[in-house]
Amino acid sequence: MKKYLLFTRVVPRWLIMLVDLFIVTWSFSTSYFIVQRFEFVNILRGYFFIYTGLYCVIAAVVMYTMRIHTGLIRYSNTRDVLRIFSSVFLSSMFYLLFVNIWVIPVLHVNSVTINLVLLVNFSVSSTLLILLRTTVKSAFFYINNNSTAQKTVVLIYGSDNNAVLVKQALEASAKTNFAVVGFVDDDCKKIDKEIQQVRVYHIDKLAKLKEMHDVDKLIIMNHNLDEQAKKLALEKCLALGIQVLTVPPSDQWIYGRLNLQQIKDLKIEDLLQRKPIRIDNTSISEDIQGKRVLVTGAAGSIGSEIVHQVLSYKPAMVILCDQAESPLHDMKLEVEEKFPDVPTKIFIADVRNHQRMHKLFSDYRPEVVYHAAAYKHVPMMEENPSEAVLTNVLGTKHVADLSVAFGTGKFVMISTDKAVNPSNVMGTTKRIAEIYIQSLKDSPLNKSNGLPCTRFVTTRFGNVLGSNGSVIPRFRAQIQKGGPITVTHPDITRYFMTIPEAVQLVLEAGTMGTGGEIFIFDMGEPVRITDLALKMIKLAGLQPEKDIKIIYTGLRPGEKLYEELLNQGEHTMHTHHPKIKIAQVITYPYKEVSASIDELLILNRQHDDVALVNKMKEIVPEFISKNSHFEFLDAIGGDGEEVELLVN
């Protein structure tokens, strides 16, 4: 029997049909006997065989037509129950019609209380047909769940319809190896109730459930993971060593069924995400719709997301500018597939090449510019300051100056929290770019009838989750290799937000800016990188220090323990969006800033890194090098003669 109930064998349809017919025939006969009070002599004289045979034929035709024998019994559901009731009812109605039209008048058979027989038969027949399916289904799941194969014991988060669908999908899959032992929820109305023979537990019982059932995993829908109750449950799972798996909402299941490939490990990005940001889509649409939009650094993490979100607002054209050929080609194919109705132009160029960028502005005359092109890796820029200056300062200057020259309406620059009290070359170059962008507000070049032609806006935020070269992909790769995970310092912290979240705020801030503002984003609480590593190890179902070790390598060149969003002396002003504030920063005259940058670029051409960095410290006095071979410049106070002597 067991081999017929397990996944490897399916009972033939004709056999199910025969069993159903046997049940129907036996049920009708028994009902007939009950109504006739088991008086067999009168039963046989009353044409019992004619009545029973006719009912059997009619029932067979109805059941075959309604195909109640075609479904797999082990997966029977309420729809199958309704089909059984419908088939028995229709069989009774057709049978009653035939008896009154043909049996009684043609064969001159005396009628018995056939109505009462049909009523009793309806109850007995439908009950037995349903009982057959329920018994087989229960036996199947009992044998399957108690087979010798090792099962993965799981809990399902939630007790709503989606959670029930997940349970049904797991139990119905021929390849799954999960045994669902319960649901966990925080809805007090459902606690200790049973759903499909499985109990609903409060999330506070996770530790007890782990001990009782040796729970291996918790399965959770991967939407709305920002809810506080879910986050508490996930934190408890990590502490207890319960691995968390996610499944997409049921409307995203392939062909309406949960594919095992859709069951994935919870990612740290899911655990860190916050409530979805609400933005003013109307204002953004008015800012972008029907306009020509340029995105520099379009193939990068932030730039590519800007492209995707901008395209959804139906601009007249989007120009994708980057120097990375292959990623830009991939972007081209992707946007053409997703947004076939919006014209896009691919423009391979380096923002440091003024002539090439002039060609871009001359040909397409962008009305809105999102400037995301930049070098961002701190240690690499510490070793190559001249390249950081060329891209982050000169490149920004080129795009900004051309925006003014060609009458671009708005210029939005993507900056970083590393520009605040910078401790490295990269952050300082971004701060210099910020200063130049702000100075353009009152520049004579950017005036028409006393008003700015181009509105310059700067947005400043921290690390984004999953961006190219960021810590999370690096940790994930180290875990996959078996460790160790390398962290620079036990106490180092960073701010994080998701890429879509950051870009949403960039677009929103762009609509607010009147020119010269630096918008800073609410990044939430800073995250301790060691805690991040520990959570990622636990999310992978491993144990820190036992399976994966964490080693500390020391702060890298230019790196500091804590990032900041405001310089000393800077304050903020609130905006209509709770997650966006305006930094009240010191602004500098355009002529002074332009002259300083010209001097910086002259030094850059001399390939003297020490003199170059020293000039950067002069432009940005709060720039104090940390863990860098340029620290000696701070010790000598930036005296040019002493620097020259030290170099010589």
Closest CA to 562 of 430, 418, 466, 431: 418
CB 556 within 8 A of CB 488: yes
Rounded CA separation 138/466 (Å): 45
Cβ neighbors of 432 (< 8 A, separation 6 or more) are 392, 393, 597, 600, 616, 619, 620
Q: Which residues pair with 414 in a beta bridge?
A: 459
Report d(CA 54, CA 23) in Å as an integer: 15
C-beta neighbour count of 22 within 10 angstroms: 12
Query: Which of 137, 267, 291, 418 is flagged as catalytic?
Result: 418
Torsion, CA 244, CA 248, CA 254, CA 258, rounded to 10: 40
* Contacts (Cβ under 8 Å, ≥6 apart) of 550: 484, 485, 486, 487, 530, 533, 534, 544
**How far from the centroid of its chain's Cα atoms is residue 380's Cα?**
31
Tokens 């065989």 correspond to what residue? 49
Tell me if 183 sits within 8 A of 199, measured CB to CB. yes
- Rounded to whole angstroms, the Cα distance separating 43 from 37 reads 9
* Distance, CA of 646 to CA of 648 (rounded, Å): 5
Handedness of CA 348, 352, 354, 360 (dihedral sign): positive
Residue where the block lists tokens 């089909």:
83
For tokens 């782990």, name the residue: 210
**Which of 12, 35, 93 lies closest to 59 in space, CA to CA?**
93
Helix (H) or strand (E) holding 402, with range, is helix 396-405
Report the DSSP pairing between strands 368-371 and 292-296.
parallel
Torsion of CA 273, 276, 277, 278, to 10 degrees: 180
Looking at this protein, which amino acid is placed at residue 587? T
The total of other beta-carbon atoms located within 10 Å of residue 356's CB is 16
β-sheet bridge partners, residue 200 = 183
Q: Yes or no: say if 246 and 220 are a contact pair by the CB < 8 Å rule.
A: yes
Question: Can 418 be counted among the known catalytic residues?
Answer: yes
265 with 243: CB under 8 angstroms? yes
Strand positions, DSSP E, 287-337: 292-296, 317-322
Give catalytic residues, as residue numbers.
418
